[in-house]
């Protein structure tokens, strides 16, 4: 949406970005999963058909953001938890946050999509 002016990410963020493919439908799904979520096999299945999703790509989200943030028209700031402010950011926002360029109506986002984020790949 181009709403973020500055993307802030904790240097030790432990989230991986998965590009998953449903072999039956050829649908591509992008998921961002924590270590705990990766252990749950349900995150690698199609919820409607229970078909196993094929992992097309898997990489650390921070690395993917470092390679791709410019495509979204924002700047990237890496945050350490070594200061009181950095530690508060990591605990309060889970290690990822942003400064918006303009007001965003959060009602546009459906609660059913939590944990599944798509980008413009």
Q: How far is CA 16 from CA 10, 38, 104, 107, 108, in A?
A: 13, 9, 26, 26, 25
Is 119 inside a domain boundary?
A: no
Starting at the earlier edge strand, list the strands of the sheet with 4-10.
Answer: 75-79, 4-10, 96-100
Summarize pLDDT for 27-36 with one digit per residue, the tens: 999 999 999 9
Domain count, the chain: 1
Is 112 inside a domain boundary?
A: no
pLDDT in the model for residue 108: 78
pLDDT in the model for residue 100: 92
pLDDT in the model for residue 50: 86
Block means of pLDDT (10 residues each) for the chain, 121 residues, are 90 96 92 96 91 96 96 94 90 91 81 49 45
Is 10 inside a domain boundary?
A: yes
Domain that holds residue 20: 4-101
pTM: 0.78
Is 80 inside a domain boundary?
A: yes
């Amino acid at each position: 949406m181009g709403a973020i002016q500055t993307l802030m990410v904790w240097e030790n963020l432990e989230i991986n970005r998965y590009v998953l493919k449903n072999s039956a439908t050829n649908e591509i799904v992008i998921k961002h999963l924590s270590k705990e979520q990766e252990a749950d096999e349900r995150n690698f299945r199609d919820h409607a058909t229970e078909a196993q999703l094929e992992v097309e790509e898997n990489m650390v989200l921070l690395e993917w953001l470092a390679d791709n943030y410019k495509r979204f028209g924002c700047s990237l700031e890496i945050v350490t938890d070594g200061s009181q402010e950095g530690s508060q950011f990591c605990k309060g926002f889970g290690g990822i946050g942003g400064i918006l360029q303009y007001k965003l109506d959060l009602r546009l986002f459906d609660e059913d999509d939590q944990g599944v984020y798509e980008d413009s790949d």
